[in-house]
């Protein structure tokens, strides 16, 4: 094979983004993020860089992984969420832009919240973004995965939020899971809500943790367990913000109504139902 002679950063990105175009509709962005990672600099300064000897090989390796559907966030080990740089590993769901809807709703609706609980915290994305926006608040993040909690702890420390963040191993499918937690002004959760692997792209299905995605035959198992327990965990003026799949609003509202909760549905940037606020 005839390898092209040494190319510029811009040329290498262009070639990679053409190759990636067959796999993803974010080919150009993916190629840029992977090049910045290979160079060890930010995207904004990478076009000023010369490619050192090791960069083309590292970049080619990252592009090959992406061609195999591995998400860019796992290749880089980082994902931006609500303006925060979070570390991510395959032990945690990659924070989605759609979930920023939940953070915005929480900050807008309860700007004076003091105690925050995040159920299924994963990387800590929701909890840390809310605590970052509410300097007087403190929060507890629970997860059944110890590996996820280690990632969340690292993120809390890196963001300077460890003093206000407590992370605990706990599983709401186990009786007594909420003993001793107390009550909260804000409860956040992005529980598993996918009904079948057939609904997912290969990027998600083959790489993200199944335990963070799947929730029974109709995707509602975790809502059935968690939502009826919210009234006992909320302060009198408290609010729970629950992420949902786009088609699940009516079903999840009904679970809340049966538990005596009032609800408002919020939509994401794509105008899909994404969050239910329960009070
Ligand atoms: N939004 C994710 C997806 O569809 C699912 C997240 C979840 O189950 N909580 O890929």
What is the tens place of the pLDDT at every residue in 203-221?
A: 999 999 999 999 999 999 9
Per-residue pLDDT, 38: 96
Is 73 part of a structural domain of the chain? Answer: no
Phi–psi pair at 104, nearest 5 degrees = -60, -45
Name the residue range of residue 36's domain: 9-68
- Residue 2 belongs to some domain of the structure: no
Is residue 22 scored above 50 in pLDDT? yes
Assess contact for 212 and 159: CB atoms under 8 A.
no
Q: Do 107 and 25 have their domain in common?
A: no
235 annotated among ligand-binding-site residues = no
Q: Is residue 3 part of a domain?
A: no
Same-domain check for residues 63 and 93: no
Whether 163 and 39 share a structural domain: no
The per-residue pLDDT for 7 is 83
In a domain, 274, yes or no: yes
Distance from residue 214's CA to the centre of ligand 1 (Å): 8
Nearest CA to ligand 1 atom 6: 213
Ligand 1, pocket residues at CB < 6 Å = 96, 190-194, 204, 213
| pLDDT tier for residue 5 given thresholds of 50, 70 and 90 | low
- pLDDT for 1 beyond 50: no
pTM of the shown model? 0.95
| ipTM given for this complex | 0.92
Give pLDDT, residue 6.
60
Q: Compute the distance from residue 217 Cα to the ligand 1 centre, in Å.
A: 15
80 part of a folded domain: no
Ligand 1: centre distance to CA 246 (Å):
10
* Separation between Cα atoms, residue 3 and residue 116, nearest integer Å: 55
The band of 23, judged by pLDDT with boundaries at 50, 70 and 90, is confident
Output the pLDDT for position 199.
87
Say what percent of the chain tops pLDDT 90: 94
Say yes or no: 106 and 212 in one domain.
yes
Average pLDDT, the chain: 96
What distance in Å separates the CA atoms of residue 210 and residue 200, rounded to the nearest whole number? 11
pLDDT at residue 87, as a whole number: 98
Do 145 and 209 lie in one domain? The reply is: yes
Query: How long is the chain?
Result: 279
Number of domains in the chain: 2
Q: What confidence tens digit (pLDDT) does each residue in 58-75 have?
A: 999 999 999 999 999 999
Are residue 216 and residue 261 in the same domain, yes or no?
yes
Which of 93, 126, 191, 202 has most ligand 1 atoms within 8 Å of its beta carbon, as the pocket-test mutant? 93
165 among the known binding-site residues?
A: no
Give the chain's end-to-end CA distance (angstroms, integer). Answer: 64
Let me know whether 55 and 101 are in one domain. Answer: no
Residue 158 and residue 54 in one domain: no
Residue for token pair 């139902």? 273
Residue 192 among known ligand-binding residues: yes
Asked whether residue 197 is assigned to any structural domain, the reply reads: yes
Best of 193, 196, 197 for a ligand 1 pocket test (most atoms within 8 Å of beta carbon)? 193
Q: What is the domain-level CATH number for residue 63?
A: 1.10.8
pLDDT value at 3 more than 80: no
H/E stretch holding 165 reads strand 165-169
Is residue 34 domain-shared with residue 162, that is, in the same domain?
no
Residue 2: band (very low, low, confident or very high) from pLDDT cuts 50, 70, 90? very low
pLDDT digits (tens, 9 = 90+) for 226-235: 999 999 999 9
Same domain, 194 and 126: yes
- What band does 4 get if pLDDT is binned at 50, 70 and 90? low
Going from the Cα of 194 to the center of ligand 1, the distance in angstroms, rounded, reads 6
In a domain, 62, yes or no: yes
pLDDT at 250: 98
102 and 196, same domain (yes or no)? yes
Joined together, the tokens standing for residue 216 give: 């029974």
Ligand 1 pocket: which of 188, 191, 245 to mutate (most atoms within 8 A of CB) = 245
Answer yes or no: is 230 within a domain. yes
């Amino acid at each position: 094979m005839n390898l092209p002679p040494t190319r510029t950063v811009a040329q290498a990105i262009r070639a990679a983004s053409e190759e990636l175009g067959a796999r993803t509709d974010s080919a150009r962005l993916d190629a840029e993020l992977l090049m910045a990672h290979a160079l060890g600099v930010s995207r904004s300064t990478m076009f000023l860089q010369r490619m050192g000897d090791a960069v083309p090989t590292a970049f080619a390796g990252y592009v090959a992984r992406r061609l195999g559907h591995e998400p860019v966030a796992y290749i880089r080990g980082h994902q931006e969420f609500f303006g925060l740089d979070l570390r991510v590993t395959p032990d945690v769901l990659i924070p989605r832009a759609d979930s920023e809807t939940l953070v915005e709703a929480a900050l807008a609706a309860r700007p004076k919240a003091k105690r925050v609980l995040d159920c299924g915290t994963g990387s800590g994305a929701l909890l840390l973004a809310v605590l970052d926006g509410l300097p007087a608040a403190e929060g507890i993040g629970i997860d059944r995965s110890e590996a996820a909690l280690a990632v969340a702890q690292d993120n809390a420390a890196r963001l300077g939020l460890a003093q206000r963040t407590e992370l605990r191993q706990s599983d709401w499918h186990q009786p007594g899971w909420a003993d001793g937690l107390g009550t909260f002004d804000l409860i956040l959760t992005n529980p598993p809500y996918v009904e079948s692997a057939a609904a997912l792209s290969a990027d998600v299905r083959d790489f993200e943790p199944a335990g963070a995605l799947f929730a029974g035959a109709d995707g509602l198992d975790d809502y059935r367990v968690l939502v009826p327990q919210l009234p006992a965990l909320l302060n009198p003026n408290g609010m729970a913000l629950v992420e949902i799949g786009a088609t699940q609003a009516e079903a999840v509202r009904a679970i809340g109504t049966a538990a005596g909760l009032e609800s408002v549905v919020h939509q994401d940037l794509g105008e899909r139902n994404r969050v239910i606020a329960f009070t």
